[in-house]
Structure 1
Amino acid sequence: MTAKWEKTEVNVGVLEVEVASDRFANALNDAFKKVSKNVNIPGFRKGKVPRRIFEAKFGVEALYQDAVDLLLPQAYQEAVEEAGIEPVDRPSVDVVQLEQGKPFIFKATVTVKPEVTLGEYKGIEIQDKSFDVTDETIDQEIEQVLKSHAEIEVVEDGAIENGDTVSIDFRGTVDDEPFEGGEAENFQLEIGSGTFIGGFEDQLIGLKTGESRDIEVTFPEDYHVKSLQDKAAKFHVVLHDIKRKVLRELDDEFVQEISDFETVDEYKADLKKRLEERAEQDHKRFIEDEVVSKVTENATIDVPSVMVEHEIDHQLNSFSQQLQMQQIPFDAYLEFTGTSMEEMRNQFREAAEKSVRTSLVLEAITEAEGVTVNDDDLNAELEKVAANTGLELDKVRELMGVRDPNLESFKHDLATRKTIELLVQNSKLA
């Protein structure tokens, strides 16, 4: 077999492949064995028809498509390896010669992984950012803890305040006409959450249980339902009840209920330690993200659109799985938000292109710097996974081996992390 690669565009080329006639003959034999099992010819049992009888009745051409189906995938893969190219999409195949006794020739139009021209990636200067844990930081965290353990009380005599959760009926109209999704009963709304259109929640403040109020708002220009964009709307709202969070006092009794500590001082000391550890990790990720972003910006690369589309598919699939965890079907989400699939894909496009560019640049640096993953690296990382999951090391290897027998994906991710560490080590903080 011979393969000839010729680039026709920036990331596209034609791979011309010639498969020897004897190999094509073998593929025809295999194709005959396959189709003869289902051929009915009087006087012969299924699978027992001689090939000469089959060809006399149907012609050898009847075997061509099955022979191509059997031969082409393997021949294409061998040709790719011989040409030393990295396809990023399925090829478009044109058969050039398909005749018994002659070589099988085909041309495959292939989109390949783009070349990356690296710019400066060592000595990158990063504007540092403070992640210090201050008394204010600790107080904010404590406030969130108190809120999460707050007691809920029904406000019998009082008006809506910011932070309250209310039960309301509402009916909305645009130009005095009701619209889809503009009406609900006993709707639970947290005031200040930003759940509703801007201005809606603020106008409820001061309303008392049993009272009603007309509220006027304007839908934003980028509202997800196109027919309502930039439209003025009026809502008639009836308030049924008000619930308010009553915060506990941070004292020793409260600390003993929610933690393993006895006193407020012990709890605060531990909280500060945990916040400092989190801040350290946040700072580390910040530096990594900044370095990788600058390095990617410095590189020159023409990303094939097909790679971006594949990444959009991947991100949409992840998003759909997140919705399923919330028991929301993806189609229902599109309908509820008034978003078409094309609009949804466009929402992911910028992030997808950035992700592809970043991955390609990091791969190029990994290769340029000769970053590799040895057995010690692999074992150390697997031990981390085992420690974090509480599983035995052998069990981790077994579970990961089911998804990735040679752990190639895991090794790739580990090599990328080592490359990022190299970039950070060679960067400068300003």
Structure 2
Amino acid sequence: MASTVEKKDNHVVVVTIDVPAEDFSDALQRAFRKNASRFSVPGFRKGKAPMSIVTKYYGEGVLYDDAIEFAATPAYAAAIEEHDLEPVVRPEMDILEISRETGMKFTVTITVKPEVELGQYRGVEVIMPEYTVSDEDVEKELLRIQERNSRLIPVEDRAVQEGDTANIDYEGFLDEVPFEGGKGASYDLRIGSNTFIPGFEEQLIGHNAGESFDIDVTFPEDYANEELKGKAVVFKVTINEIKTRELPVLDDEFAKDVSEFDTLAEYKESLRAKQAESAQKRAEAEFEDNVVKTVVANATVDIPDVMIEQEVDRMVAEQRNQMRYQGIELEQYLEYLGQTLDSFKEHMRETAGNRVRTQLVMETISKKEDIRADAEEIEAEIERMATMYGMKAEDLRERIPAGEDDFVGESVISRKTIELLTASAVKLAQPEEKPEAKPAKAKSTRAKKAKAKDAAPPAADPETTSDGQTAE
């Protein structure tokens, strides 16, 4: 078997492969043995005619489909290994010559993985973010917990106020015609939550339970639904009930009820400690992410369009699965947003390109640094993934098809590569934010004149001479 490679544009190569006559003859024999039972030749029982008779009766081409597969598959694999090629898509094959006497000559057109020219990846300088926890942060978290432990109580003696929860029935009309998605019944709407379009919630304030009235609003110009964006509509609303949120008192008893601490002061300190830990993890995650981005930016790689298209398709499939998990098809979701599948894909191309670029750079670094995953690390990764998915490790192993567990090792190698980059990176202090310079206040003309008058010597009396005598 002989093969040659011709490079084309955009990382496409054409490999020409010659299969010797002897090898192709063997492939024909295998193809005949596979299909012998289905051949019927006059004078022979079905499946009993020899190969020479079958090919004479039907023609040699009757065996080509299987013979090509038997001959081309090992020849293609050998050529890929010989020329150290990494295909990224299924190759396209063209047969140039084929016969028992001459063998088979064919070409495969392949898009191959591009080479990455690495820049600096060890010791890159990256700013380490700093996130501090203020008293205000602690109070906000305490308020969130307080609200989570609150209860709604009915209001009967007043109208809707900011912060209340109004239970409403509503229906929207565009040009006096109900529009899709504009109707709801017994909906609990918290005033001030900005759940509905601007202007809706504010118009509930001042109305009492049992009232029915109209609300006039205009959908924003950037609203997702093309038919409603920028349109003035009318909602017919009925308030069924008004409730207000009663918050528990923030004291030591509250701390005992919601935590293992005996005093509110201790509980606040525990919240501060948790927020500080969370802030540190956030800073470290951002630092790691920025290290990777810096390393990728330092590298040079020309990505074939087909790799980006494949990644877009993967991202669309991920989004489709997420939508189905929520009980909606992706096409329905896009229709609601006023988008087509093509426009959605185009919107994802930049992110897909960044993903592919990052993957290629990380793979190149891991190979250069000879980073590998051993059996113990792979087992630990399965345990980690099982915990993340809320599964038992043995259940996860059973779900991984045989021979398709490479992704576990790749995950380990990827993480170890990022750890290497992060450990060698130089942490720069976050620059202090300079206070904005306040513009100098303009001095009034009156003030300028007053100062000038005070500073200037008194003007000479036109009727007085320089020696103080009066001129006659």
TM-score, length basis structure 1 = 0.86
Please state how far the C-alpha of 1:288 moved relative to its aligned partner. 0.7
Distance change in 2, residues 1:163/1:354 (3 Å): farther
Residue 31 of structure 1 is matched in structure 2 by: 31
Please state how far the C-alpha of 1:116 moved relative to its aligned partner. 1.8
Rounded to whole Å, the distance in 2 between the matches of 1:352 and 1:126 is: 24
1:116 counterpart SS class: coil
Rounded to whole Å, the distance in 2 between the matches of 1:134 and 1:329 is: 43
CA contact (8 A) 2:128 2:284 kept: no
CA contact (8 A) 1:255 1:267 kept: yes
Amino acid at match of 1:184: G
Please state how far the C-alpha of 1:354 moved relative to its aligned partner. 1.4
Residue 307 of structure 2 is matched in structure 1 by: 307
Residue 429 of structure 1 is matched in structure 2 by: 428
Matching of residue 240 in structure 1 with residue 244 in structure 2: no
Q: How do residues 263-282 of structure 1 correspond to structure 2 at under 5 angstroms?
A: 263-282=263-282
Amino acid at match of 1:288: E
CA contact (8 A) 2:126 2:425 kept: no
The structure 1 residue matched to 2:416, chosen from 410, 415, 418, is 418
Distance change in 2, residues 1:173/1:31 (3 Å): same
Please state how far the C-alpha of 1:43 moved relative to its aligned partner. 5.7
2:239 counterpart SS class: strand
Q: How do residues 347-386 of structure 1 correspond to structure 2 at under 5 angstroms?
A: 347-374=347-374, 378=378
Please state how far the C-alpha of 1:287 moved relative to its aligned partner. 0.2
Rounded to whole Å, the distance in 1 between the matches of 2:258 and 2:41 is: 81
Distance change in 2, residues 1:57/1:291 (3 Å): same
Matching of residue 136 in structure 1 with residue 133 in structure 2: no
Structure 1 unpaired stretches of 5+: none
Q: How do residues 104-119 of structure 1 correspond to structure 2 at under 5 angstroms?
A: 104-119=104-119
1:309 counterpart SS class: helix
Rounded to whole Å, the distance in 2 between the matches of 1:374 and 1:136 is: 47
Q: How do residues 119-158 of structure 1 correspond to structure 2 at under 5 angstroms?
A: 119-158=119-158
Q: Which moved more, 1:175-184 or 1:17-26?
A: 175-184
Amino acid at match of 1:118: L
Rounded to whole Å, the distance in 2 between the matches of 1:192 and 1:43 is: 91
Amino acid at match of 1:214: D
Distance change in 2, residues 1:322/1:380 (3 Å): closer
Rounded to whole Å, the distance in 2 between the matches of 1:63 and 1:162 is: 81
Structure 2 unpaired stretches of 5+: 430-472
2:234 counterpart SS class: strand
CA contact (8 A) 1:191 1:201 kept: yes
CA contact (8 A) 1:291 1:427 kept: no
Residue 53 of structure 1 is matched in structure 2 by: 53
Rounded to whole Å, the distance in 2 between the matches of 1:323 and 1:87 is: 32
Amino acid at match of 1:422: L
Please state how far the C-alpha of 1:423 moved relative to its aligned partner. 2.2
Rounded to whole Å, the distance in 2 between the matches of 1:26 and 1:411 is: 39
Residue 72 of structure 2 is matched in structure 1 by: 72
Matching of residue 285 in structure 1 with residue 277 in structure 2: no
Aligned length: 428
Q: Which moved more, 1:287-296 or 1:414-423?
A: 414-423
Rounded to whole Å, the distance in 2 between the matches of 1:21 and 1:160 is: 90
Rounded to whole Å, the distance in 2 between the matches of 1:57 and 1:194 is: 80
Q: Percent identity?
A: 39
Rounded to whole Å, the distance in 1 between the matches of 2:294 and 2:311 is: 21
Q: Which moved more, 1:175-184 or 1:105-114?
A: 175-184
Rounded to whole Å, the distance in 1 between the matches of 2:349 and 2:307 is: 11
CA contact (8 A) 2:331 2:341 kept: no
Q: How do residues 186-335 of structure 1 correspond to structure 2 at under 5 angstroms?
A: 186-335=186-335
2:53 counterpart SS class: helix
Distance change in 2, residues 1:11/1:388 (3 Å): closer
Distance change in 2, residues 1:143/1:40 (3 Å): farther
Residue 467 of structure 2 is matched in structure 1 by: none
Please state how far the C-alpha of 1:9 moved relative to its aligned partner. 0.7
Rounded to whole Å, the distance in 2 between the matches of 1:193 and 1:380 is: 44
2:308 counterpart SS class: helix
Please state how far the C-alpha of 1:379 moved relative to its aligned partner. 6.2
2:227 counterpart SS class: helix
Cα deviations by residue, 1:132-181 (Å, 9 ceiling, x for unpaired): 23332222222222222321223333333444443333333334444333
CA contact (8 A) 2:19 2:71 kept: no
1:87 counterpart SS class: coil
Rounded to whole Å, the distance in 1 between the matches of 2:372 and 2:272 is: 38
Rounded to whole Å, the distance in 2 between the matches of 1:166 and 1:235 is: 15
Residue 160 of structure 1 is matched in structure 2 by: 160
Q: Which moved more, 1:239-248 or 1:357-366?
A: 239-248
CA contact (8 A) 2:215 2:237 kept: yes
Over the aligned positions, Cα root-mean-square deviation in angstroms equals 3.2
Matching of residue 17 in structure 1 with residue 17 in structure 2: yes
Distance change in 2, residues 1:51/1:172 (3 Å): same
CA contact (8 A) 2:386 2:396 kept: no
Q: Which moved more, 1:155-164 or 1:10-19?
A: 155-164
TM-score, length basis structure 2 = 0.79
CA contact (8 A) 2:312 2:349 kept: yes
